[in-house]
Amino acid sequence: MTLLIVGGGGREHAIIKKLKENPNVETIYALPGNGGIAADAVCVPEIGATDIDAIVAFARSHAVDFAVVAPDDPLALGCVDALHAAGIPCFGPDAKAARIESSKVFAKDLMQKYHIPTAQYQVFDAPVEALAFLKTASFPIVIKADGLALGKGVLIPRSYAEAEAAVRTIMEDRAFGDSGSRVVIEEFLTGPEVSVLAFTDGTAIAPMVSSMDHKRAGDGDTGPNTGGMGTVAPNPCYTEEVAQVCMDTIFLPTLAAMRAEGCPFKGCLYFGLMLTPDGPKVIEYNCRFGDPETQVVLPLLRTDLLTVMQAVENETLGELTVEWRHASAACVILASGGYPGHYEKGKAISLPKSLPGNVTIYHAGDKLADGQLVTSGGRVLGVTATGPTLRQALQDAYAAAETVDFDGKYLRHDIGRRALAALAD
Q: Figure out which of the listed residues 290, 377, 378, 416 binds ligand GLY, where binding follows CB under 6 A.
A: 290
Pick from 213, 261, 313, 396 the residue near ligand GLY by CB under 6 A.
Answer: 213
Q: Is 189 in the site for ligand AMP (CB under 6 A)?
A: yes
| Residue 162 binding ligand AMP, by CB under 6 A | no
Residue from 65, 73, 261, 293 binding ligand GLY (CB under 6 A): 293
Spatial CA neighbour of 182 closest among 153, 205, 207, 210: 153
Q: Is 228 in the site for ligand GLY (CB under 6 A)?
A: yes
Q: What SS3 string covers 16-56?
A: HHHHCCCCCCCEEEEEECCCCHHHCCEECCCCCCCCHHHHH
User: Is 147 a binder of ligand GLY (CB under 6 A)?
Assistant: no
Is residue 378 at the binding interface for ligand GLY, with CB under 6 A as the rule?
A: no
| Rounded CA separation 27/158 (Å) | 52
Give the binding range for ligand GLY (CB under 6 A) out of 35-43, 290-298, 337-345, 397-405.
290-298
Among the listed ranges 128-136, 168-176, 180-188, 310-318, the one in contact with ligand AMP (CB under 6 A) is 180-188
Residue with Cβ nearer ligand AMP (51 or 284): 284
Measured CA angle at 407 (ends 332, 71), to 5 deg: 45
Q: Which does 286 bind (CB under 5 to 8 A by kind): ligand GLY, ligand AMP, none?
A: ligand GLY
Judged by CB, which is closer to ligand AMP: 61, or 222? 222
By DSSP bridging, strand 216-218 and strand 372-375 are unpaired
What 8-state DSSP symbol labels residue 272?
E
**CB 23 to ligand GLY: min, Å:** 30
CA-based end-to-end distance of the chain: 48
Burial of 131 (0-12, 13-18, 19+ CB in 10 A): middle
* Given 10, 151, 157, 416, the residue binding ligand GLY (CB under 6 A): 151
